[in-house]
Amino acid sequence: MTTEPQLSTQGFTWQPNKKILLLSFCLFPLLVTLGFWQLDRADEKQRIVNQYNANQQAAPATVIDLSRATNLGIAQNLQYRSAWLVGELDSSREIILDNRVKNGRPGYEILQALTVIGLEQKVLVNRGWVPASLDRRELPEIEPVMGSVQLRGSLYQTLGGYRLDDGIGRVSAWPARVGWVSAERAELLFGETFFPYQLRLDQDSVGALQTGWATVSVMPAKHTGYAVQWFAMAFVLLIMTVIANSNLPELSKRSSAKRRS
């Protein structure tokens, strides 16, 4: 009869640690949810990019297209569509859109109402960005655009997002510094009717300041990368939970000792 010690043949056993299990049960669904949320964001951003590419390839919209869209109740999608409009900017009433950061520097975006020849509604024109003074009481002075001109840019409809209530209603003293603006809100600020899309000027357009708006702040591929990271963290958490609540480390040591013997 041999007297050599034998390695235990005990297999995998579950040794639950309640605190670790509770923490894992809380974190795992959260990590998975964050992963799917990032996938949803990637899908949303991809739809925006596709819409931008499709409408940018279309011929520039004119006052005829805007009038047709008005008659159809904006049945057609004009988001990011290039537009060439002839009209006169109202330089006496100016919206100064606050908290616009460009290249790490605080500033404003300047918006004015455009009276378009052949269109009953006004068009809200975003002329672009200007730097802000260190003195918040000092507002930027913008060179006016006089007379009838052709403006070139892209049509844009605000896509929602967080809006801080600035408490401003209809404006009686111009210029007006506001926290957010859309074509719909312009109707309240100016007391006139506006076309549902604003016109963001191209850099080479008459009246343009510093322009260049990003289609999306984060590209779809980056959101997909974030999703992969969240799912990877969920997988690692799952593996660590199994290891911390079982005899796997002991089995691994025994297996290594057996191979060395």
pLDDT digits (tens, 9 = 90+) for 148-171: 999 999 999 876 656 767 778 788
Cβ neighbors of 206 (< 8 A, separation 6 or more) are 145, 149, 150, 151, 152
Q: What is the predicted pLDDT for the residue at 130?
A: 95
Instruction: Say whether pLDDT at 146 is over 90.
Output: yes
Whole-structure pTM value: 0.69
% residues pLDDT > 90 (the chain): 46
- pLDDT over threshold 50, residue 21: yes
> Residue 1's pLDDT is what?
43
Ranges of each domain in the chain: 16-78+219-261, 81-201
Looking at residue 17, its pLDDT comes to: 84
Distances (CA, A) of 47 to 52, 81, 162: 9, 15, 20
Q: Give which of 1, 3, 2, 8 is closest to 257, Cα–Cα.
A: 8
For the chain, how big is the Rg over CA atoms in Å? 30
Has residue 177 got a pLDDT over 60?
A: yes
Mean per-residue pLDDT over the chain, rounded:
84
Angle subtended at Cα 237 by Cα 233 and Cα 240, rounded to the nearest 5 degrees: 135
As given in the structure block, the two tokens for residue 148 are 């009838």
Q: CA-CA distances (angstroms) from residue 229 to 36, 224, 247? A: 11, 9, 28
Q: Which helix (H) or strand (E) holds 90?
A: strand 82-102
What pLDDT is attached to residue 161?
59
- Other Cβ atoms less than 10 A from the Cβ of 46: the count is 16
Q: What is the pLDDT of residues 196-246, one digit of tens each?
A: 999 999 999 999 999 987 765 567 888 899 999 999 999 999 888 888 888
